[in-house]
Amino acid sequence: MMLPSIEEIKNTISDPRNILVSRLNGYSPIPGLLGPEQYPGGFSIVFPFTNGRDKKALRIWHKEIPEIKKRTSQISSYLSQNTQLDYFIDYEYINNAIRFDTGIKLDAVLMDWGDGHTLKDYIDNLVHSNVDSQTKTSEIIELAKSFLALFSDLHKVHISHGDLQHGNILVMDSKRIKLIDYDSLFVPTMGDKITQVTSGLSGYQHPSRSSSAYATEKNDYFSELIIITSLIYISEDINVWDDLSLMNDDYSLLFNAKDYRDFKNSMVFKRGISKSRILKLLLKEILIALDCADIESLSPIEEIIERVGLNWNIYSVGGYCINCGSLFTIGDNYCTNCGTKRI
């Protein structure tokens, strides 16, 4: 079936009578400059709704995704079994969510609304804030540590997001990280023959990612290395953000697809290689990764962090001692507070 255009979806959403979702009773789309407020993506468009106190969002597809209903059901079921993961926004697949004048009804996903800043907005606000340079460096490093904990937690339950990039990452006011846009999410119950929906933004993806036919739990390995390395780079060289006009690049965080074609001779590599020993080693890890022809051969970020000697005590979400309630750090088998063995 040919899906309605974004314009048709927008016009239909404008009339609350076309919304057939009972949980949105009393909610209305939030007005924007040209119709309802909206956030279009490659496959879907998100409309926020409010009842004056609470906000929710309706996500509607404008491009076909193979077996989207089955995929969404598998993702929802698997995440509900792993409630210790606090990185996802609650959502529900809704059949026949909106009705068009033609009589067509489309399914949608109803989501809680995540109020936060996208990753690049968060960094840009911090870079241009009035706090001192030491505080900026510290906050960026703490953010990088939070990402490492997130990546480690996802690896433990064999999940990959599939499209890690600034637009799909929210930094909340509490500094917690939330991931959004789950079209490309992989969970192990999907099996090893689930079609890859997207190869992601070029600045976050290994050049070989586009030739991968299937989604796997390793899809994020290169993106994770890029995000961690970029944050450490920016923490050591805060001026690089404005020098390279990084806020204006829609496809990357720091490194871009052109850099990857000749990484060792790229300007950003040459600028960073003279920084700290850790950053130098991480840049060399990107070189090693780019030499891999198959993304399934890439190393997880935990192994890379250990190789370069980065000694971060990262707190893993859900890693609490059952005896005293203290947080475990990644790699700890016994509670450092009371000595209880980790389960």
The counts of H helices and E strands in the chain are 10, 13
Task: Determine the Cα–Cα distance for residues 165 and 254; give it in Å rounded to an integer.
Answer: 11
Cα(15)–Cα(224) distance, integer angstroms: 41
Q: 128: Cβ–Cβ under 8 A, 6 or more apart, which residues? A: none
pLDDT value of position 341: 65
The closest alpha carbon to 218, from 283, 143, 292, belongs to 292
Which pLDDT value is given to residue 303?
Answer: 96
Q: Which of 142, 89, 159, 146 is nearest to 316 (CA)?
A: 146
Q: Which stretches in the chain have pLDDT values below 50?
A: 317-318, 328-331
Residues 273, 267 contacting (CB under 8 angstroms): no
Q: How far from 291 is each of 9, 115, 207, 273, CA to CA, in Å? A: 44, 39, 10, 18
Q: Please, what sign has the CA dihedral across residues 239, 242, 248, 249?
A: negative
Q: CA-to-CA distance for 241 and 122, rounded, in angstroms?
A: 12
Domain regions of the chain by residue span: 4-110, 115-309, 316-342
Task: Report the candidate in 58, 66, 52 with the shortest Cα–Cα distance to residue 10.
Answer: 58
Side-chain half-sphere CA neighbours of 102 within 13 A: 9
Going by C-alpha positions, the residue among 48, 62, 43, 40 that lies closest to residue 19 is 48
> Rounded to whole angstroms, how far apart are CA atoms 247 and 253?
8
- Taking alpha carbons only, the member of 162, 233, 231, 152 closest to residue 200 is 162
User: What are the C-alpha distances in Å from 308 to residues 16, 36, 304, 314?
Assistant: 55, 48, 6, 16
So what's the pLDDT on residue 318? 45
Q: Which residue has the tokens 């969510």?
A: 97
Q: What is the distance between the alpha carbons of residues 237 and 285, in angstroms, rounded to a whole number? A: 19
Question: Which tokens is 88 given?
Answer: 């996802």
pTM recorded for the entire structure = 0.86
Q: What per-residue confidence (pLDDT) applies to 317?
A: 46
State the residue for tokens 């051969």: 297
Per the structure block, which two tokens stand in for 165? 């990039």
How far apart (Å, rounded) are the C-alpha atoms in residues 32 and 35?
Answer: 5
Which class does domain 4-110 fall in?
Answer: alpha beta
CATH 2.60.40.1190 fits 115-309, yes or no: no
- Predicted confidence at residue 229, as pLDDT, reads 99
